[in-house]
Structures are given as structure tokens and as C-alpha cells.
Amino acid sequence: MSRSFLVFGAGAWGTALSIQLIKSKNKVFLSSFDKKNLGQIKKDQENRKYLPGFKLPKELLVEPLSEKLIEDASSIIICVKSPYFKGALSLLKKRAGDKNLVWATKGFDPDSGSLLSSVVAEEITTNAKTA
């Protein structure tokens, strides 16, 4: 069964996960805080800044974050550096609903030193399934 994913974080890791999700026949949206880099990725079909040399599948939908993008995804994957994790979570949590919310971010919350799972437990008040 094909699913739809919003990968938030267009660094090397988020881009690589997006490529693999496309190869597994999923619909994938790639977005990030960095609209300038998103524009370059969309134009060149390559993430020259963080993952040069890898042409992106034409099926990968590279878009700035919007409510529609969040609504169209059945699962959200957060792939940002840990200092930006709470900010990304704040942007996405209002629309998380009962979606799958996954993070592929390593490290700790820089403000509290907490595990990111603790940050999610404090911030997510919806029925989202988290991992």
C-alpha cells in the first residue's frame, strides 16, 4: 500500500530518506525552514547544498510548508538538527491530528537536555502516533 509522507528537513538525511521513500513507491513531499534551498532543489532536482551528486526522482514534490501539505500527508517525518526540533514540532503539531509523527533527529533538546521523545510527549496533545 502506498502512503504519503511529509519529510520536514531538506538536509542530507531528509533528502536521502525522501529518495528511499519514493523508491518504495510512496508519495513524498520534501519541505524545510529554508525556502531558498527548497527553490534550488526544486529547480535543479538535486540538493546541491547538502547532498550533491544525487539527482532526485521527478516524483519527489519539493514545496514550502503549508497547511495543505501537512493535510495531504498521512505521515510526517521530522529530519532537522536537534536545536531546530522544537521549532519544527511547533509548526507541525497543530495539524498532526491522528497522523504518524516520526522524528529522524538525533541528540537532545538543547534548552532542557531532555530526550526528544520527552519534548514530543510534552508538546503533542493530539492523537498522533509517534515514533
Question: For residue 92, which amino acid is it?
Answer: L
Entry pTM: 0.94
- The alpha carbon of 87 is separated from its chain's Cα centroid by a whole number of angstroms, namely 12
Asked which of 6-15, 30-39, 48-57, 88-97 is least confident by mean pLDDT, the reply is 88-97
Q: Which residues contact 86 (CB under 8 A, 6 or more apart)?
A: 109, 111, 119, 123
Q: What is the pLDDT of residues 17-63, one digit of tens each?
A: 999 999 999 999 999 999 999 999 999 999 999 999 999 999 999 99
Closest-CA residue to 43 (of 28, 25, 55, 26)? 55
Give the SS3 label for residue 88. helix
> Does 1 score more than 60 pLDDT?
no
